Structure 1
Amino acid sequence: MRAYVTLDLETTGLEPRKDRIIEIGAVKVQGGMVTGEYATLVNPRMEIPERITALTGISDEMVQGKPYVREALEGLLEFCENLPLLGHNLMFDYSFVKHNAVNLDMDFEKEGMDTLKLSRILLPDLPSRSLQNLRVHYQIPQGDAHRALEDARTTYKLYERLRQEYEEQHPELFCPVPLFYKVKKQGPITPAQKRYLQDLIKYHRIDLNVEVESLTKNEASRLIDTILGTYGKIER
């Protein structure tokens, strides 16, 4: 029986180009049994939106002193080894990891399986195929919903239930497939951008909700444009 790693993330939003990872949860499965887990909060170096804290329970205070994304991803990549991934709406989680990995010069090319795609094919009559609705449908117990490790555990249990019920009739659906997500590397903020941004913040007395040093070149450019459009230029 194949081995795989179930992956789930919590993030500050839905767009990997501008939002950030705040928690990683992963479960290693071999022979249908859990053989290891990896979990960490991630300091996004920005304020966590209130709506995300309300959804996940993860606050700014909780991520203080936690690893930055480079250290967190190094641990994840080591944990995953060369195993395929499993996820519920897997491309969402994969896109965030891939986006950060490319920016940090890390290699993350994977095959994967998606319980959302499986459930759409195998359970077409259900009114919803969200992870939580499928958990209730199969009476899978869970602790904290919308926390990465708990959701990864639930996804593993859901996959094994689907596999037990349907793999014999539909073995092709349970084979990992290559995951394709193209990412263009974004370099870090330039020294000139950093100086100008810091001058704008000081001049307009702006309380920024993100660490300037953590910005990419593109993020810094968008932020500068936003400040100029909102507050105007520095008058000499």
Structure 2
Amino acid sequence: MCRDYVALDIETTGLRPEQDEIIEIGAVRYKEGVPVEIYSSLIKPNAVVSSRITEITGITNEMLKNERSCREVLWEFLAFVGDEDIIGHNIRFDYSFLKAHAYKQKKGFDNKAIDTLYLAKKLHPELESRALSAMCLHYGIINEHAHRAYDDAKACAELYEKMYNQFGETNTELFRAKVINYKVKKEESITNRQKFYLNDLMKYHKINLETPIDSLTKSDASRLIDKIILNYGRISF
């Protein structure tokens, strides 16, 4: 049964792992069922955060403009997690984003996982909803900042511990971490035309890009170009 793990949560600009971006990562490391270490970081995306995402998470473009790039944060976070089992509520969503973005940085991410949403469905069929908010209400878990990565990760860990203490001894297999099968969809690399135009835009507006241009995908480059034009304007002669 899983007693040493990292409970995690991410916030993103959308629902597509290969195209949308991670804007926040939060995690709590547990040893023998006790929290021992935390991780929390915002991330500056290439794309503009939509008003809908801000409405859900409270994360604004202003909050992210001086944060680190996904590449820097992701390398740091993967080192934090190591080969620990991971836990999350609907963990496949978080896992798919982390794996897709690790793949872009030529990094692996294959940690085994436990899904507290799956556990809740199996162990509480009587409940109308097994959303994280509903499960927190059921178990009396206080989550003051729902839809922020660290707070949701912390709430998820507390939920796991509550369910483990109640059901763990009689449901050992449910509380065992398992492999998630997710294959990253390969994306086209940035085109030469995009590369030249992006370089021209950055020179014209005196912008420094933290992420190497050659590491961008075609869709990444398109979003970044749109963001620069929105914030700084087009090149005019």
What is the TM-score normalised by the length of structure 1? 0.83
Q: Distance in 2 between matches of 1:105 and 1:215?
A: 12
Structure 1 unaligned runs (5+)?
A: 200-210, 225-236
Higher relative contact order (CA 8 A, sep 6+): 2
Q: Which amino acid aligns with 2:112?
A: E
Equivalence for 1:179: 180
> Contact 2:28/2:39 (CA < 8 Å) preserved in 1?
yes
Give the alignment of 1:1-236 within 5 angstroms.
2-186=3-187, 188-195=189-196, 213=213, 215-218=216-219
> Structure 2 length normalisation: TM-score?
0.83
Following TM superposition, by how much is the alpha carbon of 1:218 offset from its aligned partner in structure 2, in angstroms? 4.7
Residues 5, 162 of structure 1: alpha-carbon distance in 2 compared, 3 angstrom cutoff: same
C-alpha change, 1:139 and 1:23, in structure 2 (3 Å) is same
Q: State the shift of 1:72 in Å.
A: 0.8
Tell me if structure 2 keeps the 8 A contact 1:103–1:186. Answer: no
Inter-CA distance 222–6: structure 2 relative to 1 (3 Å threshold) = closer
Are 2:18 and 2:187, in contact at CA under 8 Å, matched by a contact in 1?
Answer: no
CA pair 36-197 structure 1, distance change in 2 beyond 3 A: closer
Q: Distance in 1 between matches of 2:222 and 2:31?
A: 45
Runs ≥4 residues deviating over 2 A: 184-188, 190-199, 217-224
Kindly state the Cα deviation for residue 194 of structure 1 after the two structures are TM-superposed: 3.1
1:32-71 alpha-carbon deviations (Å, 9 max, x no partner) = 1111001000001221000110111100010111111111
1-structure distance, mates of 2:186, 2:8: 23
Contact 2:46 2:220 in 1 (8 A): no
**Cα separation, 1, equivalents of 2:42 and 2:13:** 12
**2:22–2:45 contact (8 Å) kept in structure 1:** yes
Q: Residues 41 and 180 from structure 1, CA distance in 2 versus in 1: closer, same or farther, beyond 3 angstroms?
A: same
- Equivalent residue letter for 2:30: V
Residue 99 of structure 1 and its aligned partner are, at CA, apart by: 0.4
Alpha-carbon shift at residue 126 of structure 1 (Å): 0.5
Q: Which residue does the alignment assign to 1:230?
A: none
CA contact (8 A) 1:86 1:112 kept: yes
Question: 2 CA distance for matches of 1:120 and 1:107?
Answer: 30
User: Hey, what's the Cα distance between the residues in 2 that align with 1:148 and 1:182?
Assistant: 24
For the residue of structure 1 that corresponds to 2:173, the secondary structure is helix
Aligned-residue offset at 1:192: 2.3
**One-letter code of the match for 1:47?**
V
Query: Matched residue pairs, number?
Result: 214
Gaps of 5+ in 2: 201-210, 226-237
Q: Deviations over 1:68-114 (max 9, x none)?
A: 11111111111111101000000000000000000110111110000
CA distance, structure 2, for counterparts of residue 187 and residue 27 of structure 1: 35
Identity %: 44
Deviation, structure 1 residue 219: 5.1
**Alpha-carbon distance between aligned partners in 2 of 1:35 and 1:185, rounded to the nearest angstrom:** 37
Note the aligned Cα RMSD (angstroms). 2.5
